[in-house]
Chains A and B, each alone.
Chain A
Amino acid sequence: MTIIKKPDWYISENEVTDEALFNKRRNFLKLGAAALVSSSVIAEKLAAVENVKRESLKFQKTTFGKGLELNSYDQASTYNNFYEFSTSKSDPAKMAHTLKPNPWDVEILGEVENPMVISLEDIYNSYPLEERIYRFRCVEGWSMVVPWIGVTLSHILQKAKPTSKAKYVKFTTLVDPKQFPDQKAGKLFPNIPYPYVEGLRMDEAMNELTFMSVGMYGKMLPNQNGAPIRLVVPWKYGFKSIKSIVSIELVEEEPLNTWKMINDLEYGFYANVNPNVDHPRWSQAKERKLGSFFKTETLMFNGYEKEVGHMYKDMDLRRYI
C-alpha cells in the first residue's frame, strides 16, 4: 500500500481558482483603480490592453486570396463602420470595450427542422476553423484585404436543416443599450434604426464564399470588427457583412435590410460590388485601398465573378442594386 503524504501547500484541483474568474478579479481591481483616478482615459487604456489580449485561435490555412497584399491589423481595426457606437470611423476602436463578446449565443430559427442555439464554444470546438483572405469593399469607396478566420455559413445552416420554405436568411445584430451606446433608450436621434438587420438569398447563403467569421489576423475578432461573430460576404458591399450577430432566421420572404430601409434609392437588398453601377452620389468604378494615396480599379463582384456570377446571370443589376 502506498501512502501519499500531502505537502503543506497541497490543495486539490477543485480548489484552484478558475482562470476566467482569476482574470475577472484582476479586471475588477483594475476597474477599481480606474474609478479612483476617475478618468475615462485610463478606462480607454485598459480597454486597449484587453484588446491586445485577444486569444489566438487554432485554424487551418487555405488558398483563398493567395497572392493578395494584406492590409495591416492596425488599419483593419481602426477604420470601422459600427453605427451602434458612432458614425466616426475611428471612434469604434476607442468605444468598443463596452461590448462583451463572451459568453455569446447565436439562435438559429425560422424555417428549419432543427432550431438551435449555438454558443461560441460550439463554434470553436465543433467546426473546423479556417483562414481566408478576402477583399473587402465598402459602398463608400474604400477597401481592404483581411485574413478572416471562421467557418463556411453553409456548414452551420446544414446542421439546422432548412425546410423547403426557407428562401432567404435574415441576420440580426445584438440590441443592448448597455453594450451599444447609440441604442440608449430615449436617444432623440439614433444614428440608424435598431436592430441592424441584413439578409441573403438562400443560394447566396449557401455559396462556398459566404463566411461566418470569429477572428482575424490569427486571433479572435476585436470588438469594433464585430465580435464575437460576424458575416463576411466578400462579393457584396461591406454593409451586408453584418456584425455581432445574435440571430439567424430562415424565412420565406426577402427580409428588409437596414440600409435599404433607410434609403432604398441608394442601397438595395443585393448590394453586389459593381464598378458599372454608380452610387447616386459617387462613382463605384474605382476604390481607395486603405493606406494608399492612389485609387485602383474595382472588380466586378469584387473579383469573385467566377464563384458567384452565375447566381445573377438573369438579373438586371442596374435595377437590383
Chain B
Amino acid sequence: MKRSLLFFVLLLPLLYLLISVQSANDPIKYIFTCTGISSLIILILSLSLTPLKKIINLIKYRRMMGLFSFFYALLHFLNFYILDAQFDVTFVLKETLDKPFIYLGMIAFSILLFMAITSTRKLFAKFNKWHKLVYIVLILVVIHEAMAQKVLGNLEFMFIFMTIVLLGYRAFLFRVKWLKKKK
C-alpha cells in the first residue's frame, strides 16, 4: 500500500509535465528542465535515506527511488536524442565528445543505466560495491545542472549545499571507521 502510494507520488512530475508542456513557450527546453530537475531531486532524496536511517528507516524504498531517478534521466536523454537532436546520431556523438556540459551528463547517465540494470536482487548481490558510484553521479549531475544556467541561482546553491551535506556525512563516517581500525 505504502509502496504504491510512493510509486504514484514519484509519477506526479511526469503527469505534471504531460499537462503543462502543451502550453510551454519553449517545449524542448521545458522537458529538459522538468525531467532533469525531477531526476536530480529524487536522486538527492534517495541518498538522504541512509543518513535518515537512524531516525526513520526507509531503506526499503531506496531502490524504487533510484530507479525513478534513472527513469527521469532516461526521459531527459530521450528528449536530447529525439526532439533536440532529431535522431541525428552523429550530432549526439559530436556534442558528447566536444562539450563538457554534455559529456558530464552522459557519463552520469551511463552510470545510472549500469546501476538500473544491476539493481535486480541477483545482480545487486554481485555489483553492490559498484553502486557507490552514485556519489560520482551526484557530483556530475549537480555540475551539469549548474552548467545549464547562464548565471547560478538559489536552486543551484541548494543542490551544491545538499551535495556537500550528503558527501560530508559519508566522509565523516569513513573517518570514524578508519580511526577505529587504527586503534
Contacts and interface: CB of A to CB of B under 8 A. Distances in A.
Interface of A: 75, 78-79, 83, 87, 89, 140-142, 191-192, 262, 278, 280-283, 288, 290-295
Do most interface residues of chain A lie in helix, strand or loop, or is the interface mixed? loop
Given A87-B153, A281-B101, A293 B27 contact: yes
Given A294-B86, A295-B84, A281 B26 contact: no
A278 B28 CA distance: 19
22 contacts: A78-B25, A87-B150, A89-B25, A140-B29, A142-B25, A142-B26, A191-B153, A280-B101, A281-B99, A282-B99, A282-B101, A283-B91, A283-B95, A288-B26, A288-B28, A288-B29, A290-B25, A292-B27, A293-B28, A293-B83, A294-B86, A295-B28
Contact of A79 (B25, B83, B86, B148): B25
Contacts of A262: 151
Nearest to B101: A281
B103 to A, nearest CB: 11
Nearest to B31: A293
B151 A87 contact: yes
B147 interface: yes
B156 to A, nearest CB: 10
A140 B150 contact: yes
B140 to A, nearest CB: 15
| Listed residue (B25, B28, B84) with the most chain A CB atoms within 10 angstroms of its CB | B25
A141 B148 CA distance: 12
Interface of B: 25-29, 83-84, 86, 91, 95, 98-101, 147-151, 153
B86 A280 contact: no
Contact of A280 (B25, B26, B91, B99): B99
Nearest to B91: A283
B63 to A, nearest CB: 33
Nearest to B86: A295
| Listed residue (A191, A192, A281) with the most chain B CB atoms within 10 angstroms of its CB | A281
A236 B71 CA distance: 38
| Listed residue (A75, A79, A87, A89) with the most chain B CB atoms within 10 angstroms of its CB | A87
Q: Which 10 A-B pairs have the closest CB atoms?
A: A281-B101, A79-B25, A290-B25, A142-B26, A293-B27, A288-B28, A87-B153, A75-B25, A191-B151, A288-B26
Contacts of A283: 91, 95
B90 to A, nearest CB: 12
Contacts of A141: 29
B101 A142 contact: no
| Listed residue (B28, B95, B147, B148) with the most chain A CB atoms within 10 angstroms of its CB | B28
A205 B96 CA distance: 38
Nearest to A259: B150
Contacts of B150: 87, 140
A141 B30 CA distance: 13
A293 B23 CA distance: 11
A290 B24 CA distance: 9
B158 to A, nearest CB: 13
Contacts of A282: 99, 101
Given A262-B151, A294-B83, A295-B86, 18 more contacts: A75-B25, A78-B25, A83-B151, A87-B149, A87-B153, A89-B25, A142-B25, A142-B29, A278-B98, A281-B148, A282-B99, A283-B91, A288-B27, A288-B29, A291-B25, A292-B27, A293-B28, A293-B83
A173 B126 CA distance: 61
A103 B47 CA distance: 55
Contacts of B28: 288, 293, 295
Contact of B151 (A89, A192, A278, A290): A192
A258 to B, nearest CB: 11
A90 B183 CA distance: 59
B57 to A, nearest CB: 38
Contacts of B84: 295
A140 B28 CA distance: 12
A39 B138 CA distance: 40
A281 B149 CA distance: 10
Contacts of B86: 294-295
Contacts of B148: 281
A293 B83 CA distance: 7
Nearest to B82: A293
A192 B150 CA distance: 10
Contacts of B83: 293-295
A79 B151 CA distance: 17
